[in-house]
Structure 1
Amino acid sequence: MTETTCLDLLPLQQFQRTLLELRGGIQPINVGMVKPNKTAGFTSRGGAGARSNTKTKMQTSTVTLLVITAVLWGNIEAYSDTAVDCCLTTKDTRIPIKIVESYFHQSTDSGCPIEATIFITKKGKKLCAPSEKNGWITKIISHLDKKKTPQ
């Protein structure tokens, strides 16, 4: 087993001193040891000034963390609406008017790949039809619009 001299420990002590200084001005007394202080809990360089410097660093870190969180939260919110419920295809099969409760139009402006008219049945199912190109689609839409307006 080889003997360790002070010169062998010097780089480790410098590393620890630098690391502890970056964490708030705590000065190491021995390798891996910190001398307790009755007022602050640790021996700090510079007395009360170092404590307020540590407090300022902590406040800056907290504010930085909050700003980063807010930015990331905003990005999450911005991308959460990308999963839009769209019709990918339409069928020109006639839908019985008595099963349809409501409708809405799907457009490519809303992020969907095709234009469509979506009919919602009384059971809550969504049926995709071409975008008002056929007479039967126009009839259902006008029937539903008449039901909406109070008489």
Structure 2
Amino acid sequence: MKIFGIGLFIVLLCTVRELCATNASHVPDECCFSFYPKRLPIKSISHLKTTSSSCPVAGVIFFTKKGYKVCAKANESWVKKYVEHFTQQNSEK
């Protein structure tokens, strides 16, 4: 019975590994999987980056002046305002 369990585990492991290898070309650079629940002070943000449309949840990665990366949901109103602010700021440069 132990041999059957070990064999089944190995088959499942190989299957998962193969699935991950075939999907590796479609994996985005960065996705957000947990989101900061509060509004960040805009003065603490140095720049931002929107996540790929391939990510499961649309997010924005805020880079703080202290060097932290903070994810927020892209559909929140304050996040949309911040994205607009930084987009305008970059277009003026």
Work out the percentage of aligned pairs sharing the same amino acid: 31
| Counterpart selection for 1:113 from 53, 56, 70 | 56
Unaligned stretches of 5+ in structure 2? 1-23
SS of the residue corresponding to residue 118 of structure 1 reads strand
Q: Does 1 or 2 have the higher relative contact order (CA < 8 Å, sep 6+)?
A: 2
Structure with greater strand percent: 2
Q: Which has the larger Rg?
A: 1
CA distance in 1, matches of 2:62, 2:56: 18
Does residue 87 of the first structure (1) align with residue 32 of the second (2)?
Answer: yes
What is the CA RMSD across the aligned residues, in angstroms? Answer: 2.5
| CA pair 123-81 structure 1, distance change in 2 beyond 3 A | farther
Aligned length: 70
CA distance in 1, matches of 2:52, 2:59: 7
| CA pair 142-80 structure 1, distance change in 2 beyond 3 A | closer
Normalised to the residue count of structure 2, the TM-score between the two structures is 0.58
Structure 1 residue runs of 4 or more that deviate by more than 2 Å after TM superposition: 79-86
Normalised to the residue count of structure 1, the TM-score between the two structures is 0.39
Name the residue aligned to 1:70. none
